[in-house]
Amino acid sequence: MPAAQSSREDPLDLRQHLRYLIHCAISLKVNNHDEQGTLVNLSMSGCGVEGNESFQGGELLTVVVHLPDGNPPMEIALARVRWVRGDKFGLHFLHLQPEERERLLRFIDALDAGATH
C-alpha cells in the first residue's frame, strides 16, 4: 500500500476529517452513465477526484473506488459533488452501506498508521 500523507497541514482547513493523499481508480455513475477518474485524496466523509467529466455542484452520484488493498472495489451508494474546479472536483459521501463504512474506516486507519510511522 502506498505511503499516505495527511493534507491537514493548513490551519485554515476546517474539514471534519483528515484527508489522505492517495491515487487510485474511481468510477462515477450518473443516470446510467459511467465515467472514470482518479481519486487523489480520501477521508471518511469524502474525496477529491480528477476526471474528464464536468460535473455540476450538487449533482448526486454513485461512486466505486478501486482501493489499492487487493480487495474488490468499494461502493459509495450516494455522494454529492461539493465543488468543481476545472477537471477536479470534491465529493461528499452521503450514504455508505454499514459494511462499506467499516471497510473505509479500516482502510483509513491503515493509511493513518502508515503516515505516522
CA nearest 26: which of 2, 10, 6, 50? 50
pLDDT at 55: 86
Taking the C-alpha atoms of residue 33 and residue 30, their distance in angstroms, rounded to an integer, is 5
Flag whether the pTM goes above 0.85: no
Q: What is the pLDDT of residues 25-49, one digit of tens each?
A: 999 998 888 899 999 999 999 999 9
CB 91 within 8 Å of CB 79: yes
pLDDT at 44: 94
Residues above pLDDT 90, as percent of the chain:
65
Domain 5-116 -> CATH class? mainly beta
The average pLDDT across 90-96 equals: 96
Domain locations in the chain as residue ranges: 5-116
